[in-house]
Amino acid sequence: MHRTHSVFWKVFLIGGLLAGGISSSFAKDKVDPSEIVSRNLQSIGTAAALSARKNMDLEGEAQLHMITGGQAALQGQARLISDGQKLRFQFIAHNPNYDIDEYAFDGKSTTIGFISPGHRSRLGQFLFTYRDPVTLGLLGGELTTAWPLLQPDLDGAKLSYDGIKKIDGKPYHELRYRPKKGERDLNVFFYFDPETYHHVYSVYRVTVPATIGMTIDQSSQQRESRFAIEEKFDDFRTVDGLTLPSKWQLRVTVDKGDDSSITVWDMSFTRAMTNQVFPPDAFVISNGTTAK
């Protein structure tokens, strides 16, 4: 059991994003995180173009694949909208067992939808338990106006430079993100291309310690559980003076013994517009539940 757990997590790390660190001419204590953020903003667009974007509306094709832990392959539509700190994501499959997967933040509360009556996806389960990626505007990166790195004060968050790390064989700058207030057991990392300074990956990881059994034997059979969301951004294109990714991947890994799984959502946005008029209920999920 323990060996299976170790192998599963190793496959996730290598087959997903992180393949290990490498040496670099960049010293950890000599790189200012604010410099990386500044260059990232420059890679997106001018200050005038960034400030001109009040909201964002993205639509396109989407696919869902369950790699382990079951069998699922769905085609659908994706939509990601944002207005200031508000945001909403929808994966629309219109399948009897997987209708609409969605999450939203209306400026006050984070709401997670159901894919079928009483059932959430692996993504929804993660975000219902750990809402910071939605509440703090982290998911979606600069595709939304809620991205905290767009704010001069980072919304009070702290960034630290963790050096150059290797992802899929290529080196990237790694920044660790710590919110001013938030879920301390959620570890958040951002990755930037050292040549273009595009934000290309984000990782959100949680490790839940093993529980203590009623007896020594029961305790010895318990083990920790691990959960992660990985984001990948690719195929950068210019929209209204802003260079943004048109492809977005979400990869959710659950490592908890017999209930382990890896699920991937791939979105390709073919329609991108700024400064739209949204209806009052655009960021409200009527059949969802509020994450506590």
Backbone angles phi, psi at 259, to 5 degrees: -105, 30
Residue 4 has pLDDT above 60, yes or no: no
pLDDT at position 261: 86
If 0-12 CB within 10 Å is exposed, 13-18 middle and 19+ buried, where does residue 18 land?
buried
Mean pLDDT of 209-229: 61
pLDDT at position 156: 84
For domain 2-290, say whether CATH 2.60.40 is its number. no
Residue 128 has pLDDT above 80, yes or no: yes
Least confident piece of the model among 10-24, 42-56, 60-74, 240-254: 10-24
Report the percent of the chain where pLDDT is more than 70: 82
Q: What is the pTM of this model?
A: 0.85
pLDDT at position 7: 35
Closest among 91, 102, 124 to 229, alpha carbons compared: 124
Mean pLDDT of 276-283: 95
Mean pLDDT of 161-174: 94
Q: What is the pLDDT of residues 71-126, one digit of tens each?
A: 778 999 999 999 999 999 999 998 988 999 999 999 999 999 999 999 999 999 99
**Is the pLDDT higher at 97 or at 45?**
45
Mean pLDDT of 128-143: 95
| Mean pLDDT score across all residues of the chain | 85
Q: Which of 3-12, 22-31, 114-123 has the highest mean pLDDT?
A: 114-123
Mean pLDDT of 4-33: 48
Instruction: Place 181 in a pLDDT band, splitting at 50, 70 and 90.
Output: confident
Q: Residue ranges of the domains in the chain?
A: 2-290
